[in-house]
Amino acid sequence: MVRKILLFGSVDQAYVSTNMEFEIPGVAEAGRLVISTEDSYSRTIALASIDVLLMSMGDEDINPPGDLLEPIIIREPVKYTLIQGGKVIVVGLARLSGADPLIVEMITVEGTTIGSTRLVNPAPSPDDSHSIFTVEVPYNIVTPTWVLLVVYERGGRIPGITHLSSVLVLLSP
């Protein structure tokens, strides 16, 4: 519906405040606000979203922020790790909103996926915090290759990725 691209140099954190104008055909419509970042190869390296209710008229009704915990945290491998042997063990924490599986992919600078797997959602923890996940992702390469290892969740009422975390690693045969 609306897209706004903001360009930043090489930064670790940025504070962003912007207005986005929109028009909808009816009185109200479900929508999703998505904020994502890409690397220099146009690969999504982080993505967060929230479902919203868009209204064609009336006053703004902005709710205070709720849960501020990161939904997907990759603990292993850490960035810039050299991985050998044809498989990557991914360990992390997940606090997911839907019933769809976690998806783990390894993407080259050319955009080719050289390894992927689906992980049925970890059982929610009793205290409603993160659940631990561990998954093995096989790969087959002949030369050392830098890849972006991404872990993401799809789902909700609106199709698409809802959360994504990533780490850059070097794979070797």
Q: Where are the domains of the chain?
A: 72-172
d(CA 134, CA 93): 9
Strand partners, 169: 147
CA distances from 6 to 38, 47, 115, 152 (A): 11, 14, 31, 23
Averaged pLDDT score across all residues of the chain: 87
pLDDT in tens, 117-158: 998 766 666 666 788 899 999 999 999 999 999 999 998 788
Residue with tokens 């976690």: 102
Stretch among 53-57, 67-71, 96-100, 135-139 having the lowest mean pLDDT? 96-100
d(CA 73, CA 51): 21
d(CA 160, CA 37): 16
Nearest to 115 by CA among 74, 81, 150, 142: 150
Q: pTM for this one? A: 0.85
Pairing of strands 44-55, 161-172: antiparallel
CA distances from 16 to 5, 12, 13, 35 (A): 12, 13, 10, 10
Considering the domain 72-172, what is its CATH architecture? Answer: Sandwich (2.60)
Q: Please give the DSSP secondary-structure letter assigned to residue 10.
A: S
Stretch among 31-35, 58-62, 89-93, 135-139 having the lowest mean pLDDT? 58-62
- Find the mean pLDDT for residues 26-43: 89
